[in-house]
Amino acid sequence: MADNAVSRKQCANAIRALSMDAIQKANSGHPGAPMGMADIAEVLWKDFYKHNPSNPGWFNRDRFVLSNGHGSMLIYSLLHLTGYDLSIDDIKNFRQMDSKTPGHPEYGYTPGVETTTGPLGQGLANAVGMAVAEKTLAAQFNREGHEVVDHFTYVFAGDGCLMEGISHEVCSLAGTLNLGKLVVFYDDNGISIDGEVDQWFSDDTSKRFEAYGWQVISIDGHDSEAISLAIQQAQDVTDRPTLISCKTIIGYGSPNKQGTSATHGAPLGDDEIAATRKALDWPHGAFIVPEDVKQAWDCTEKGFSSESAWKEKLVIYEEEHPDLAMELVRRLKGQLPGYFEEAANDYIKQCQATDESIASRKASQNCIETFAAILPEIIGGSADLTGSNLTNWSGSSPISEKADGNYIYYGVREFGMTAMASGMALHGGFIPYTATFLIFMEYARNATRMAALMKQQSIFVYTHDSIGQGEDGPTHQPIEQISNLRTTPNMSVWRPCDNVETAVAWKSAIQNQAGPTSLVFSRQGLPHQSRDDLQLANVARGGYVLKDCSGDAEVIVIATGSEVGISLEAVNTLQEQGINARLVSMPSVDIFESQDADYQESVLPNSVRSRIAVEAAATEYWGRLVGLDGKVIGMRSFGESAPGAVLMEHFGFTAENIVETAKSFGAA
C-alpha cells in the first residue's frame, strides 16, 4: 500500500506532472494516456509489479508492456520514480536526439522498457508471446516445490490497440492457450485522435473478450481500491487471461481539456498546465517531485529483496536438479551448447555427401529435425500451413496439448504470429521460428520490421518463394517481397539453392543473435550441387564461386535459389562455346557484403563488368551487384496462373535465355 504520509493520489499526480512537463518542454507528445492511466499504474507498480530497478534484466521479474506506446511518458515517469537508471535530466530530454526517453518506448534505449511499442496492438501481441514463453518455460523447468519460472505479464492498451486487427489475432489465441498470467488493462477513455470513438468503435469489448475465453473485470480506472481488487482477482484466476476494463478520463486533471481529444497528441500549453497543477493540488514547479513522494515511490529495496528471494530458490533448485538448473541458465543466457558448431558442420557435410535433390522447404524440414533435436530452446510454428511449410518434425509437441511442448499451431494469424515470436525472443529462453508462404509476409510486414528494429532473434521461414508456386496464381506468387526483406535494416536473408545451402542458412539463423533471419524456400524440387571443400566452406560467406572457368572470367552469372540450377546449365553451355563464364551462387547478399573486400573481389572482380543476376523476383535490388553495365533476368510484372515450369519458361527463367543474355554483352 502507499506510504502513510503520502496519498495514492499524490503518487499518481507525480506521474501526471512529470508527463505534462516533459511533453510541454519537448513541445511534442501525448499527455492524455499518462494522465488518464496514472491511478492504475500507481496501484500496479507499487503494490503488485515484481521487478528490481537495480537489475532491469532480472529474469523472473514481471513483464510490463505499454502497448499504447504514444503514452511513453507514463512508463518513463514510472521508471524514474521507482528507481531505474533514468534521471530527471533524462525526463527533461524527452523526445530529443540521443536521449534515453525517445518519443515511443524503444527496447535497448531505456532500462526497464521490455519491448518497442508504437504501432498500436503490437505491444499487446509481444506480451502474448511473453506469456506463452513464461508458461512454456515454466512447464519445461519447474518441478514440485520449485517454481523458478513464475511471473506475470501486464499490458496497458488503449482503444487504438483493440481496434487493430492484430488484437483479435493474438487475444483470441491467448484465450485458447489459457494464458492465465496475462493481465491486460484496457484504457477505456472513449477518445482517440479523431475524437469520440463511439462513431467508429462501438464494439461491446467486454463481450468480445469473454467470447475469447478471457476473464473480464470492469472497474473505475480512478478508484484505487477497485483497481487493487481487480488485480488480485486477475492473479487468482490461473486458467484464463484477464482483461481489466478501466473506465478512465483521458488527460485526467486538466480542467479544460480532460475527456477530450485535445489531450491526446499535443502539449497542454503553459496556461493549462498551471490550471492543472492547481486542480491537482500539485504546488510544485516543473520537474519537481517532493522528497516524500520520491520515497513513497522508491522500489529499489523491495526489488532487491524480491530478486534475492528468487536467487535463494534457485540455489535450492540447483541442489536438487543440477542438470535442469544448468540447462535453464544456459538458455536464459542465450548460449548455444558447445557441441552445436561441430554437430551443425557435420550435418552440412552429410548433406553435401548425400547428393539429394529435393525442394528447399523439405531440406528445411530436415534441418529442423536435426537442429531441434539438439536445441530444446527451438520453438516453432506455422500460420495454418504446417503441412506446406514443412515446419513440424518428429519431436514436435503442440503447446496446446502439452504445456511443455515446442510447437504452436497459430491458425491463420501471420501478423500476430510474427509479433508473438518477438515477444518470446524478448522474454528469453527460446529461439522462435515462424512460417508462412513468402507472399503472406505482407500480412506480417510490420512485425518483421519491428523484430529487425529491436534486433531480436526470430527465424522467419518463408516457403513457396516465387512464380514457381504455379497454379495458385499471382495472388500467391511473391515478386517484391524478397527485396523488401533484403532492404530491411538488421534483417539477414537467405535464399538457398539446395539442401546444403539450406543447412548452412539454418545454422546461420540459429547463431545470429543480432537480429531476425528470413529463410526463403522453394516449393519445387531443386538439384543438388557439387562442391569441393573450399566451396563448401564458402557457402557460409553468403556468396561464392560455384562454377569457375579456366582463365579470367568474361561474364559472371549471379543466381539464387531455384535459379541456380538453370544458371549452371547456362554457364556450362557458355563454356562449351568458348566463353569464359563464371557462376556465383548468392544465397545471402547481406552475409556476402559483410565479408572483407578481398574476398568480395575474389568472387566478383571489379574488372568484370559483364554480369547477369538471375532471380525469379523483382529486378531492382540486383543493381548493387551487377552495376550499370550489368543485366538482370527477373520479374517486372506479377505472375500468372499456370504450372510452375510453364511460368518459369514464359518469364524467361531458362538456360537458353541466360545464354542469349550473356552473348548480348559486347565483350562476349
Burial class from Cβ neighbours inside 10 Å (0-12, 13-18, 19+) for residue 264 reads: buried
Dihedral sign for Cα atoms in the order 473, 474, 476, 477: positive
Residue burial 346-370, b: 16+ Cβ < 10 Å; e: rest: ebbeebbeeebebbbbbbbbbbbbb
Give the three cell numbers for residue 490.
538488421
- DSSP code of 398? B
Catalytic site positions: 414
Please report which residue ranges of 515-643 form alpha helices under DSSP H.
Answer: 533-538, 563-576, 589-593, 597-603, 623-626
Give the three cell numbers for residue 654.
531458362
Give the three cell numbers for residue 503.
543447412
Name the amino acid, one letter, at 645: A
Please report which residue ranges of 118-223 form alpha helices under DSSP H.
Answer: 122-141, 159-163, 165-176, 205-212
Q: What whole-number distance in Å separates Cα of residue 235 and Cα of residue 229?
A: 10
Query: Which residues are bridge partners to 492 per DSSP?
Result: 517
Name the amino acid, one letter, at 611: R
Dihedral sign for Cα atoms in the order 520, 526, 528, 529: negative
Is the CB of residue 449 less than 8 Å from the CB of residue 509?
no
Residue burial 80-113, b: 16+ Cβ < 10 Å; e: rest: bbbbbebeeebbbbbbeeebbbbbbbbbeebebb
Strands (E), 383-491: 407-409, 431-437, 459-463
- The residues near 288 (Cβ < 8 Å, ≥ 6 apart) are none
- DSSP code of 418? H
Is the CB of residue 502 less than 8 Å from the CB of residue 443?
no
Is the CB of residue 351 less than 8 Å from the CB of residue 365?
no
Strands 195-196 and 191-192, bridge-based pairing: antiparallel
